[in-house]
Amino acid sequence: MKGLVVLLVCLTRSCVGLQNGVGQTPLMGWMSWLRFRCSTNCQLAPDNCISEHLVKRMADTMVADGWLDLGYEYVSIDDCYQADTRAADGSLQANSSRFPSGMKALADYVHSRGLKLGLYTAMGSTTCAGFPALGCPSVDNCTQAKKDVDTFLSWGVDYIKVDSCSDSVGANFNTTHPLISSWFLAGANRTGRPVIYHPSGIALDNNIWKQGAKEPQQYKLFGAIANMWRHYADMQPVWAEVDRIINFWAADDNESHPVTYEEEWEDFLSVSQPGVFQDPDALVVGNVNDSDTCKPCNPYDPSGGFCGGSNRSVQEVPCMCCGTLSATEEQTNMVMWSMWAAPLEIGADLRSIPAASAAVLQNPEVIAVNQDVLVYQGRRVSNSDGLQVWQKRLADGSVAVALYNANDDPAAIPLEFDTVGFTGCDRVVVRDLIRRTDLGTHVGGLHLDAIAGHGAAMLRLTISW
């Protein structure tokens, strides 16, 4: 049935996205970077270093605690799994002490649990953490990359993130990324295991774009060569980062989302579709500061990324990045990512995630909005002094609405139905998705109780015939 609905969606919209058979709705899963960063000292932190032990335990937890049943199926290692050097034949290899069984065996284990494995590389000669990477600065100098693609495919990878680091900052979406993407597509056709292709490092708000070193963003091209792609700076588990990303995703203010060409905002808002979605980075829900060994992360603090500088072998404390979001702010994080049809990649330690945070991430009605097969990226339709209304069309004709209070103090946000696609005469059935309760049938609009500062309500509106 889901495939039929996707087909109907494509008949009514221009579905020109990457046709590789995966990512018809936004990716859901867990990724290592936000919590564990590049923790490679397993003597110091045997349960929290980037290793096959950590990945297997996380996979086991995803199955045992119901995450997989809800759709969280990808287990992704975001850098720091590699050996410092390549094998004698030049092929990429995993660190043998932290991944003694090898990556193929790890992929087999993940697959045996009903999950999928994601890995990370970069277009330059090294990753952002300094490990061997594709080394593809141009299409004429990309021999090593082809060998690495074949290695990833032989390991059984289901998802690959390609960053822009070292000598490939701002990797070219007209040349190198289409080439790498085509190799993964061709290889997947041979192996029968399609791979989600995820370019990263194309943030609009970084210095490269501000210096005008790039051509204008070409969102339609992105969708033709990738399932998902990262925008904006790396997420840190602090509220200021979440709020900045929300304003950027609104794409209606040149201060928070500067444009490089006239139609950019509309292109940004309309490119998502089955097989194509944009990535604001991992969810910070559940990433709590619950240990003296955590390293606090601050907005735009590069030194917070690696916990030991360039010397990865010297780590005075386990390299874990701990968050400071309140329960209200965590709920908003989940609501807004779901409104945008964004990937839901959990950045917390699932083995010890607080029950309240897990409940936020496991709310099936909010997940259903994120996974709606229309893959419509929600839009901000009203913003009055920080009191915001966001609207997201859904495949069955209903509408998801987020009422977001960007201010510090509680405030009521009145909802007028004509601002989110209804008429003043429509009888509208309202469902509160966070509380999972019906709010009755209303005409014209709805007035809820005050919403906490930094908080959001999430509703589903359906016409009563």
The pLDDT value recorded for residue 294 is 59
Within 13 Å, how many C-alpha atoms sit on residue 177's CB side?
Answer: 30
What's the pLDDT tens digit per position in 354-387? 999 999 999 999 999 999 999 999 999 999 999 9
What's the pLDDT tens digit per position in 147-187? 999 999 999 999 999 998 777 655 566 788 889 999 999 99
What's the pLDDT tens digit per position in 243-258? 999 999 999 988 888 8
- The tokens of 317 are what? 């404390």
The pLDDT value recorded for residue 240 is 87
Residues recognised as catalytic: 163, 234
The pLDDT value recorded for residue 7 is 38
* For range 63-90, the mean pLDDT: 97
What's the pLDDT tens digit per position in 388-410? 999 999 999 999 999 999 999 99
- How many percent of the chain have pLDDT more than 70? 84
What's the pLDDT tens digit per position in 29-45? 999 998 888 888 898 88
Distance CA 233, CA 381 (A): 25
Rg (CA), the chain: 22
Kindly report the pTM of this predicted structure.
0.91
The pLDDT value recorded for residue 82 is 97
Distance CA 73, CA 30 (A): 8
- How many other CB atoms sit within 10 Å of the CB of residue 351? 13
Q: Higher pLDDT residue, 322 or 442?
A: 442
C-alpha dihedral over 67, 68, 72, 73, to 10 degrees? 150
Residue 204 has pLDDT above 60, yes or no: no
